[in-house]
A and B are shown apart, each in its own frame.
Chain A
Amino acid sequence: MILDLERFQTQAGPRWSSLESLLVAIEGRPDRRLNPMEAEQLQELYAQTAVDLNRVTHGALAPELRQYLERLVARAYAELHYVPPTRSELWQPRRWLRIFTLFPETFRRQSRYFALAVLITVLGCALGGLAVHYDPAAVDVLLPANYLRNPVQRVHEEEQGKNQDRHSTLSEAAFSAQLIRHNLEVAMLAAALGVTFGIGTALLLFENGVLLGAVAVRYTQQGFGLFMSAWLLPHGVFEIPSILIAGQAGFYLARVLLHRREDRDVRQSIREWLVLIAGTAMMLVWAGVMEAFFSQHHEPVLPYWFKVAVGGGELALLTVYLLLIGRRKTDAEADNKLPAENK
């Protein structure tokens, strides 16, 4: 032991106590902001304590003192280098509402991953559809639920109102919540499976596509194409794209993780991933409401053409929203960037 620990502790102890009380004061504040005097004092005490830590590490056998100083230094380091969001930044409603423009902007910026999600789903659809088309017995394997396998029975039950018990406003509300929750779980899983380098996301989208293709061909084959469109479109035009966007988030996450070392702005990428999930969640809430309150009503209550038209209208609105909202701003930003890059 090179260091005279007793003398050292007597000399340095007061500055450790000052640093500790300063840290307790700062950590107790909700916004953790420092005034200039505190910042200066913290910087000075941090530097001195770091030197003390270095002396204890190399000059004394005092594991507990070392641990204590390490903790102090770590806390001071965190306070000096961390810029917390201010309270005004956090509680600005306008800031939260920005999600409505950020979502389509992010969607367009990362559209190639959306294209990949669409491609995989279409491949799944094609496989499911072709399998049922050429081998009707394949429905037993491809479609898990009995009601999906027997369109005749299902359409009859729906049109006769046998599921009327579900059609009261109260049970529709509960049904809607269950749908929203289930769809959100699937979407979040698709986005999170990006951590498997996108393989899990691809498998989930492909399976979804197979199911969709098989149902579509099965119902169309048996002459219920219009019923199916009227049944699925009002909520499907939001539900299916939202799962595709969740897949887009999954593939984007895979890309971020694969290029983590080269990517200098991982923080921004992760934020974009969160924005895509938040957008998906908003879409799925709407899809759940539509599925429970609107899609389950059939002729004669609601004419099929009307339901299809509503679905078409929703799709048009969604397309406009995703492709056009925030575009002017994005273009302006791009224009501003170009000359800077050329300089």
Chain B
Amino acid sequence: MRLTRLTPHERANIAFGGFTASAALVIMAVLAFIVWDVLSQGLPRLSWEFVSAAPRDGMTAGGIFPAIFGTVLLVLIMTAAVIPVGVITAIFLFEYAKPDSLFARAVRSAVYNLAGVPSIVFGLFGVGFFIQFVGGNLDRLFSDGQVIWGQPAILWAALTLAVLTLPVVIVATEEALRTVPREHREAALALGSTRFEALWKVVLPQAVPGILTGAILAVARGAGETAPILFTGAAYFLPHLPTSGHDQFMHLGYHVYVLATQSPDIEATKPILYGTVLVLLLVTVILNLLAIGLRNRLRKQRA
């Protein structure tokens, strides 16, 4: 009986435990550093004017309200587009398609591949498909050669982001549908429901929290992405807010990029840069909290 001495196995266990814990610690440290850096440099910059006014004096003064507005609007349009398409695709894949049919396999592999495409490629896709093809043809058909839709715009940027976040929503929705017990579908069908009624009245209500989780992930991803909107609608500076789908918009992520790379006076813009980063983080957190709050309320209603 030894009480104080450790066996080699025990020593190895402790060593490996310490090793894994240190890896986890590195992640914590990186996050803590980022948050500390952004807070310490960005917080002094935050003021009512900063979040409510437009930039002035070549972006060395004033606020970033147009970029906040543009980011939130962009994410909302994106969400409105990606949820229906993603949910309906997932319903098709999980409820209707034969799992081993050629079409279902093709759709599924397309979804997985879509998730692996670099985001700048989505930007180029947005230009080629939404702006030139869809927008260009809309102009040709409806606006007598005037360029209205065939140029970068918030709608095209939002749809490009929607394509980017589609896999997230599809996978989360499929997961949510999988958690609904088979017994509930059988019970609904045995009572004389059509498959659609079983889906609509029994399966989907139970899947809603999981679908909202997908929406949360999509929002988190979409709010931070900058590459896909570079060419599809984000603007360097705009004197007024977007009022229709074919207007351009300012965006927090793009604003950060602009301030960091395009400013003639980097020392003057640096505090604004940090303030903008902080606001971008806050906007993402708030959008997420809204979605999480909605999900929790729906969960409570059913509990």
Q: Do A and B come from one complex?
A: no
